[in-house]
Amino acid sequence: MVPGGFDLGHGVVREILDRRILVCPTVNHHARAATGRLPWPVRREQLRVMLAAGVEIVPGSDAGIPHTSHRMYPRPLDFYTDLGLTPADVVGLATRRAAEALHCGHVTGTLTAGRSADLIAVHGDPIQDLHTLTTPILVMAAGHLRHLHATPHAEEDIHP
């Protein structure tokens, strides 16, 4: 690792693979900014090299730091499509694979009987358009309603 990013020289990718290290790059809403210590085109290429080599990646954002709240997590998910991943791949990485990486895949990460009912509802299809994830109309955590965004059709959204 180097300040502002990482250097893939000297067998770093091979070492990551050999040690079975899961990489969680910080890709937040500032990632494509022209400023910064490591320009997005360089970071994007490094991430592409790792993906092509088979390195496992889970989306990360450093949520919780100033100017990067937890609710902003979905915004940069589309950056991963810059790496050649499909929106479906990205949703899988951000849910199922992230839960597995945190050793809680037996509790959350998929909508499966017996697991925690953690989900969001959005207008549209995130598998087609990841931006739909940025404006949830309903958020449930452990089966409890945590957020309901009042839209003109909110009642219809919940009770069709």
Question: Which residue pairs, CB below 8 angstroms and at least 24 apart, start in 44-49?
Answer: 44/79, 44/82, 44/83, 46/5, 46/6, 46/8, 47/83, 48/83, 48/84, 49/8, 49/13
Tell me how far apart the terminal alpha carbons of the chain are, to the nearest angstrom. 51
**Between 50 and 30, where is the model more confident?**
50
Write out pLDDT tens, residues 66-105: 777 777 788 888 889 988 999 999 999 999 999 999 999 9
Alpha-carbon gap, residue 126 to 94, rounded angstroms: 12
Q: What is the DSSP letter of 145?
A: E
pLDDT, residue 37, reads 64
Q: Where are the domains of the chain?
A: 10-109
Write out pLDDT tens, residues 97-156: 999 999 999 999 999 999 998 999 999 999 999 999 988 999 999 999 988 875 555 445
Tokens in use for 1?
């690792």
